[in-house]
Structure 1
Amino acid sequence: MTSRLSPWLTLAVMFLALPVLAADAQRTGTWGASVKEQQLYLSLHPKDRPDSQHGFSAPLSDFQGLSTADGSSAPFKLVREAGTFDFEGRFNDGQGVGTWRFSPDASFPKKLADLGIPKPDADEQFLLACVNAGLQRVQGLAAVGQKVTTVDELVHVGIFNVTPEYVRAMAAEGYPKLTIQQLVSSRIHNVTPERIQGFAALGFKGLPMDTLMSMSIHGVTPDFIREMRGLGFPDLSADNLISMRIHGVTPAFVKEMRGLGYTNATADDFVSMRIHGIDSIFVRSMSKQRK
């Protein structure tokens, strides 16, 4: 079964797949950008590695001096706690290209160390600026009981947008003691408060976090549960639903097989069919052989 990467996971892949660059090489480069829904989606290409990229987005309102009007060539900047990005270039039809320069904040490493996090090196400081994770994020998470202790943890909460608001929302849904690693994983796999509420409305309340993540990983959504109930499966457990998704038992598959005469098949029967390669093509070929 194929699955689409979430925006945050896509962003993580872009960052984590990159080679480690020398600190000096990360200070300048070229950029491309597009505007969508009041966000500027940036792709930064370091000068000495033009085939590599650092991709992130930020609200248009976060930039100083930015104009995305056709023909605009005004310089603009993005100030982060870890440092400042200065941009020059031009926009046309919602697309922009140009050059960038990153100036790290000299006081940032010590301020981070004062909060109990080892000082980041130049590469890590640049990355923290890209994902907008710094002192405020560390302090905000600490205020809701989440202590960030390493630069890697801070990078991941930045990439996957683990915010104090997200921690509070998950706690309100019955998950008050998640670790930083669990919160990052739940963000990666799109375990949102809204999805938890959707499951609860269908009778799936108080599910273990591992089960919630497995459901999300394999595509068990409230809509999928409703579709299966509409096909006559009202009492499927979370494990049943996960198994159906793992083995490709979709509403379309159920309808197709019922149309071929399997009207009394149970959920387990449909899973077994998939495991053993029994589908409409197989059934029709067997029917032809009997004739």
Structure 2
Amino acid sequence: MKTAILILLAIAICFTVYAATDSRNGVWTAELNTDGTTLQMTVFRGRDQSERGRHNWNHTMGFELSLASLTGLSIADIKSTAANVNFTMTRPAGTMSFEGRFANGNGAGNFKFAPSEPFVHEMATLGYTDFKDDDLIVFATTDFAPQTVRDLRALGYQPTQKEIEEVAIFRINAPAIKEFNRLGFTNLTLRELVNLRVGNVDAAYVNGMRELGYTDISARKLANLAILGVTPTYVRELRAAGLGNLTPQETENLRVGNITREKIDAYKRLGFTLTAKELSDFGIHGVTPQNIQELRAMGYTNLTPHQLIEMRIFGVTPEFIRKMESSGYKAVPVDKLIKIKMSGADELVTGRR
């Protein structure tokens, strides 16, 4: 499959001279999802209007697309060993016309975008003007419609011109807001709604966290947890490792430190039964089981959690200890090594200039 993707990407690159002539054109790649009814699309947009003629291919967007929303593309074309394709996607903001090639579920080629003048006019009547082609392509790929603005206003929201793109990208709409209201999150700001959507927070996530005892969490904290990857599964994993009754902040800190059950078990095998704070500090400062084992092999066998953390903070690494030894300073106590680093005298001691 990887070979097919590379071949198709090479075909797509061949189209770039044509596709980069203006910001309404670009390159696309696609892969059939396992459900067999949707494509994972990526579009690489053409020249950035703000770059005064310079081509910028960093403008990429990935999105899922239902085959039913496309005209002219069949599942047979997608699964064929080699098929030239031409198909379109029509949305309120405009029409994207795709051409290229599919092979074994993977496709690539170029596209043209034709903005919808009625869409632009209707958005202007709502107070939103001067959209760039890039903006309109975002609206098309996210299936954004002016009615969304009316629905939001009916609920008391007044999105600014700058906020409209986030509303489109993260699908902030009346059904989503009403679902959050039903879950007990009322009077949410637009920023809170965006953050909740960024974290993919939905009813299943909220209910899953509540079942684990997280019943009194603000929307802001819930969004932060979700964005960082604190899921019900992760909380259960920590509990199975012996960490029960964690506060939301403790759980967040553990996730930031990339603390997993496997790491907790590894620390225990080394003789460390750590608190939630010690674990998160270990993770954040990079005190790994491997780091501890390396220090023990150098003779530092009775280090406390506090010493290990301080060593990482001040840069007392195995490499530094070896430099000290090569300069004639062997078996220096940890506290003295830390003081040497803190004072900046390490360069003198190890002979660095």
Normalised to the residue count of structure 2, the TM-score between the two structures is: 0.65
Given the alignment, which residue of 149, 152, 160 partners 2:170?
160
**Preserved CA contact (<8 Å) 2:237 2:260:** no
Ranked by relative contact order (alpha carbons within 8 Å, sequence separation 6 or more), the top structure is: 1
Correspondence 1:24-103 to 2 at 5 A: 25-36=22-33, 37=35, 38-46=37-45, 49=55, 51-55=57-61, 56-68=63-75, 69=77, 70=80, 71-73=82-84, 75-103=86-114
Taking the aligned partners of 1:154 and 1:269, their CA distance within structure 2 comes to: 43
* Alpha-carbon separation, structure 2, partners of 1:114 and 1:77: 28
For residues 105 and 282 of structure 1, the distance between their equivalents in structure 2, rounded to whole angstroms, comes to 59
* Residue 275 to residue 29, structure 1, CA distance change in 2 (3 Å): closer
Relative distance call for 1:275 and 1:158 in structure 2 (3 A) is closer
Aligned-partner Cα distance in 1 for 2:182–2:230: 22
Note the aligned Cα RMSD (angstroms): 3.0
Q: Residue 258 of structure 1: CA displacement? A: 1.9
Question: Of 114, 120, 129, which residue of structure 1 is paired with 2:140?
Answer: 129
Other-structure match for 1:266:
275
Q: Distance in 1 between matches of 2:280 and 2:25?
A: 54
Matches within 5 A, 1:1-291: 25-36=22-33, 37=35, 38-46=37-45, 49=55, 51-55=57-61, 56-68=63-75, 69=77, 70=80, 71-73=82-84, 75-150=86-161, 152-263=162-273, 265-274=274-283, 279-281=288-290, 283-284=292-293, 285-286=295-296, 289=299
Tell me, in whole angstroms, the C-alpha distance in 2 between the residues paired with 1:100 and 1:227.
Answer: 45
Distance in 1 of aligned mates of 2:91 and 2:147: 11
Number of residue pairs matched by the alignment:
267
Greater Cα offset, 229-238 or 123-132: 123-132
**Conserved in 2, the CA contact under 8 Å of 1:134 and 1:154?**
no
Q: Tell me if the contact between 1:87 and 1:100 (Cα under 8 Å) persists in the aligned partners.
A: yes
Deviation (angstroms), 1:171: 1.5
Distance across 1 between alignment mates of 2:22 and 2:72: 26
Structure 2 stretches lacking a partner, 5+ long? 1-19, 48-54, 302-353
Which stretch shows the higher mean deviation, 91-100 or 237-246? 91-100
State the shift of 1:259 in Å.
2.0
User: What is the CA-CA distance between 1:84 and the residue it aligns to?
Assistant: 1.3
Q: Residue 207 of structure 2 aligns to which amino acid in structure 1?
A: Q
Letter in 2 for 1:107: P
Q: What's the counterpart of residue 327 of structure 2?
A: none
1:204, distance to aligned residue in structure 2 (A): 0.6
Counterpart position of 1:14? none
Give the unaligned 5+ runs of structure 1: 1-22
- Partner Cα separation in structure 1 for residue 263 and residue 27 of structure 2: 49
Change (3 A) 1:271 1:80: closer
Query: Which structure: larger Rg?
Result: 2
Matches of 1:201 and 1:74, distance apart in 2: 49
Shift in Å at residue 50 of structure 1?
Answer: 7.8
1:131-162 alpha-carbon deviations (Å, 9 max, x no partner): 32221322343344433332x32211222232
Mapped contact 1:82–1:105 kept (Cα < 8 A): yes
SS of 2:88's equivalent in the other structure is: strand
